[in-house]
Structure 1
Amino acid sequence: MALVLEVVSESLSPRREHVFAHFEKDTRFNPTWWASGSAKSPVSYCRFLDEGEEIGRAKILPGSRAYAGYTTWSCPQAGATEIDLIEIRPDLRRSGNRYGRQAVVAIGRTYGQPVIAMSLDETSDLFWRSLGWRAHTHPDGDRYRTLFTSA
């Protein structure tokens, strides 16, 4: 069965701050990522289901237009789909089901291409590279995170 993307909450208005209680508490996920929070841009919180079981979560910023300082990538005029946060349950990462890859494909299918993400750490860098995404470093050096793009 294919992975299902389900929108938990979203606001696509760019003009006001959005405050959400995103997900129910679940100790299988990082609690600091998925508690109540806010965003000052369009935002969508979604979860990924496999046969009705929640296996992952994501915070998506549709139509993101940031990252103009990355000189090796040009953001399309309509913006890009930014994956701000994505998490596959730790007990299912490396299960052979490729849930992370499936989740990213579902995000691109739902929100549009190109899809982008910023580096969080070395583990996330390895994941984005495993998808064949292109890494873009900022010309001002290491104080900026690496931008990864699907195209």
Structure 2
Amino acid sequence: MALSFEVVTESLSPRREQVIPGFVKDTRFNTSWWCSGSAKSPVSYCRFLDGDVEVARAKVFPGAGEYRGYTSWACPVDGATEIDLIEVRFDLRRSDRRYGRQAVEEIAHRYGQPVVAMSLDETSDGFWRSLAWTAHLHPDDEGHGHYRTLFTSV
């Protein structure tokens, strides 16, 4: 069964207005990501459902395009779809349902290719590599971890 995709809160305004996520508090997700704070538009907060059950969430920047210094990849003039945050409910991670993979596919279908993500940590790096995405290291990093790895779908 394919996941269904719902936009919870969205502003595609180029005016950089503050957007507050509209998620219901659920302790099976990282509440500091989804129930507090805000982001500047354009931004989409999305959730993914398996039937009537919420299984994943994402924060997406449609039309993103500032990846200065990552010389091994050039962002298209029209920008890219950046997945800023994505989370599968902690009790459903590593299941054979592959909710994370399905969520990323739904994001690409809705917002378009290419899709990019910046590394959060080693766990997220493993996820992006499992999708066969390309890792782009910042040339000024020299192995110190000062720059996050950029992962691209194409």
**Matched residue, 2:121:** 121
Aligned to 2:20: 20
1:115 CA drift (Å): 0.3
Q: Name 1:75's counterpart in structure 2.
A: 75
The aligned amino acid for 2:65 is: R
Question: Unpaired segments of 5 or more residues in structure 1?
Answer: none
TM-score by length of 2: 0.95
- Relative to structure 2, which stretch is displaced further, 15-24 or 41-50? 15-24
**Is 2:52 the partner of 1:41?**
no
Superposed counterparts of 1:1-151, under 5 Å? 1-141=1-141, 142-151=145-154
Count of equivalent residues:
151
CA distance in 1, matches of 2:25, 2:33: 11
Deviations 1:74-121 (Å, cap 9, x if unpaired)?
A: 000000000000000111111110111000000000000000000000
Q: CA RMSD in A?
A: 0.9
The residue type equivalent to 1:145 in the other structure is R
Alpha-carbon distance between aligned partners in 2 of 1:71 and 1:17, rounded to the nearest angstrom: 30
Distance 1:36 1:93 in 2: 23
Shift of 1:52: 1.3
Are the structure 2 counterparts of residues 14 and 90 from structure 1 closer, same or farther at C-alpha, using a change threshold of 3 Å? same
> Percent identity over the alignment?
71
- Deviating above 4 A after TM superposition, structure 1's stretches of 4 or more consecutive aligned residues are none
Unpaired runs of at least 5, structure 2: none
**Aligned-residue offset at 1:131:** 0.2
Query: 1:7, CA displacement in angstroms?
Result: 0.3
Secondary structure at the residue paired with 2:120? coil
TM-score for the superposition, normalised by structure 1 = 0.97
